[in-house]
């Protein structure tokens, strides 16, 4: 099965981390939380979920992952302030493997200068940022553009997770 990286920082949107993680694990994929410091315990912004960092960004290599999933909340804002995370995501995208981002997750893709010419969705308040960075914003439950999978909000998470699982399976066959 696939190994999925989840870049994560404090104040992630609890459900936007937990639901994709749980669905990916149920599909027998390995989920690795990538953060600033291995072993660090991160708290969701609602205090409902906690995540242990499995791999420090200093030890993470893009080629070790079959897909990336970026949860929303305030986590992407913290992640985009870390040049190591931005570089990791940029290098991962060059591998042409699935990259999924929900809600505010595309902020990290914007910082890595990866959205120009892409069709993406997000939480509505990220729309202007995406458009200013050269993306076309769409109001859709899930938007797939090449290897990018984006979604808007917690209500879209089941469709988002299904799409990730389908894309990972398709990538494994290719």
Sequence-distant (≥ 6) Cβ neighbours of residue 81 within 8 angstroms: none
Instruction: Return the number of other C-beta atoms located less than 10 Å from residue 152's C-beta.
Output: 23
- Among 2, 93, 102, 103, the active-site one is 103
Q: How far is Cα 79 from Cα 35, in angstroms, rounded to an integer?
A: 9
Q: Which residues contact 163 (CB under 8 A, 6 or more apart)?
A: 100, 142, 144, 149, 151
Q: Which of 56, 52, 143, 129 is nearest to 100 (CA)?
A: 143
Kind plus residue range of the DSSP H or E element containing 99 = strand 99-102
Structure tokens at 145: 């553009």
143: annotated active-site residue: no
Catalytic sites, residue numbers: 103
């Amino acid at each position: 099965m696939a190994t999925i990286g989840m870049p994560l920082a404090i104040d992630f949107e609890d459900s936007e981390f937990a639901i994709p993680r749980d669905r990916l694990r149920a599909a027998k994929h390995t989920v690795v939380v990538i953060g600033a410091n291995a072993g660090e315990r991160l708290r969701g912004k609602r205090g409902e979920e906690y995540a242990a960092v499995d791999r420090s960004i200093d030890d993470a290599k893009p080629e070790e992952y079959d897909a990336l999933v970026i949860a929303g909340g305030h986590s992407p804002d913290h992640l985009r302030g870390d040049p190591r995370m931005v570089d990791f995501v940029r290098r991962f995208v060059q591998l042409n493997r699935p990259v999924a981002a929900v809600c505010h997750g595309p902020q990290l893709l914007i910082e890595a200068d990866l959205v120009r010419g892409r069709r993406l969705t997000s939480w509505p308040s990220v729309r202007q940022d995406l458009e200013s960075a050269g993306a076309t914003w769409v109001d859709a439950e899930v938007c797939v553009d090449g290897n990018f999978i984006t979604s808007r909000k917690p209500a879209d998470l089941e469709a988002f997770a299904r799409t990730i699982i389908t894309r990972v399976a398709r990538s494994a066959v290719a």
